[in-house]
Structure 1
């Protein structure tokens, strides 16, 4: 998915049809490699960082899939459990913003590209910064930096009790499990998946089935994360005046739906934007 979204942006910059990126018959990686032969590639594209940008998109998609659809944990016995939000904590918090293109123009990514251009960051480093997950295997584990990051994220400052409480409740019971995703809860097709993550290309058209002329159907449609569903259930009209996002986050977390104030603000903004669009 990341390669196809990168390809779509590159094709748009080159004034080509970005719809080609949705064609399931193409190999997106080969198409991206072929871009260097385009007449205007050297002037309009920064192909030297293409691999890093694709990795960045892939990492962002991973975080958004958990945020919007929810990941599950697979134990050594094969049992499946809903993954708790703290397990996915990452200091760069890629689940708190939407991507816009070109990526180098995003204020949220200025620091990331600065590190990459200086040779201090690679695509694999994004995954390595997970607090409780091995980015390569998806194994839930405790890193050396877990306590410090939990202090910063779940408390008001360094506090062993805060880290212990959050870690013991939401992470320790799942050490040794693997993060997995159930494809049955996602929309069908690239277009619907991108649309659910607000990752569409502005020139894309929804593909249709050639034989029936009908739009591709979703399996179940978007499925929000447990914390987001609970927020929408309790505050379907948005945050009440005078009630802070941090207070709501504390309320939901105490009820077993760990969430941050920043995520609450994001959900509230989405609600208000939907009302305006209607």
Structure 2
């Protein structure tokens, strides 16, 4: 999963950098290129030192990748796989992150995104690296996707979920402990594959990109596009104009759960915000 979102992040970063250098960002959609190598070539461009913050490259790619990881979980839902091959839908306590890196629109330059201001403050003060973003998952190994109990797990759960009956201990014991040693995975049948459609669905389509022509697609076999989750489809069907005034995301989530579409209020809020941003 880290490899997949890393590839997408490198292509998104490359496209913006090429546009800043007055080059063609469409190159970033070419499946034949190695985006990491293309990014390394950017330093040699005559405008690089004036137009790009070269020292931020690595961190910004990791930041985009981490945003994509959270975004994919919102739209497609992560699963857990046991050593014997059993697969179950992952619950959100397993994916808990104390910084609450929920979905928000991402745009360039990244330093202008309000939700990232604090992260860049920590980065500029040399208190945060790209690796730190992944390391602060409370119950996940950010490199391997292994569900595990960390030194900070109970402390983070206590701070967020509280204590007492049904508090941090109960939530950890019910939703995390039974799955220690499992791995986080994404269902390949719903995971988006074609670059242009992937970025379009995730809300990270570069303004200078154009949909590849049929001639371009004939060179590389066209892959299927992403499928929205059943819960997302049902939300859009019931509320085509978005959340009505006075109705909370949590209330809609309970309504959909009762109808057989399990979803969280967090996801409802994200879907509604995404629709408003696109309008």
TM-score range, shorter chain: 0.7 to 0.9
Matched, 1:142 2:185: no
1:248 shift after superposition: 4.2
Rounded Cα–Cα distance in structure 2 between residues aligned with 1:239 and 1:21:
36
Contact 2:98 2:137 in 1 (8 A): yes
Matched, 1:127 2:120: no
Rounded Cα–Cα distance in structure 2 between residues aligned with 1:22 and 1:214:
13
Rounded Cα–Cα distance in structure 2 between residues aligned with 1:225 and 1:87:
22
Question: Equivalent residue of 1:148, what SS?
Answer: helix
Q: Quick one: which of 91, 97, 114 aligns to 1:84?
A: 91
Question: Equivalent residue of 1:144, what SS?
Answer: coil
Q: Which moved more, 1:231-240 or 1:108-117?
A: 231-240
Relative distance call for 1:270 and 1:43 in structure 2 (3 A) is closer
Q: Quick one: which of 202, 222, 242 aligns to 1:197?
A: 202
Q: Quick one: which of 256, 261, 270 aligns to 1:266?
A: 270
| Alignment gaps of 5+ in structure 1 | none
1:79 shift after superposition: 1.6
Count of equivalent residues = 271
Matched, 1:19 2:26: yes
Matched, 1:242 2:249: no
Rounded Cα–Cα distance in structure 2 between residues aligned with 1:54 and 1:94:
16
Contact 1:10 1:45 in 2 (8 A): yes
Contact 1:186 1:219 in 2 (8 A): no
Matched, 1:57 2:83: no
Equivalent in the alignment of 2:103: 96
Equivalent in the alignment of 2:185: 180
TM-score of the pair, normalised by structure 2? 0.84
Relative distance call for 1:198 and 1:256 in structure 2 (3 A) is closer
Q: Which moved more, 1:208-217 or 1:162-171?
A: 208-217
For residues 210-229 of structure 1, the aligned pairs below 5 Å read 210=215, 217-219=222-224, 221-224=226-229, 228=232
Contact 1:18 1:204 in 2 (8 A): yes
Matched, 1:112 2:119: yes
Rounded Cα–Cα distance in structure 2 between residues aligned with 1:41 and 1:200:
23
Contact 2:154 2:168 in 1 (8 A): yes
Question: Equivalent residue of 1:52, what SS?
Answer: helix
Rounded Cα–Cα distance in structure 1 between residues aligned with 2:86 and 2:56:
40
Deviations 1:72-115 (A, max 9, x none): 21101112222112211112233321211110111111111111
Question: Equivalent residue of 1:33, what SS?
Answer: helix
Rounded Cα–Cα distance in structure 2 between residues aligned with 1:232 and 1:83:
23
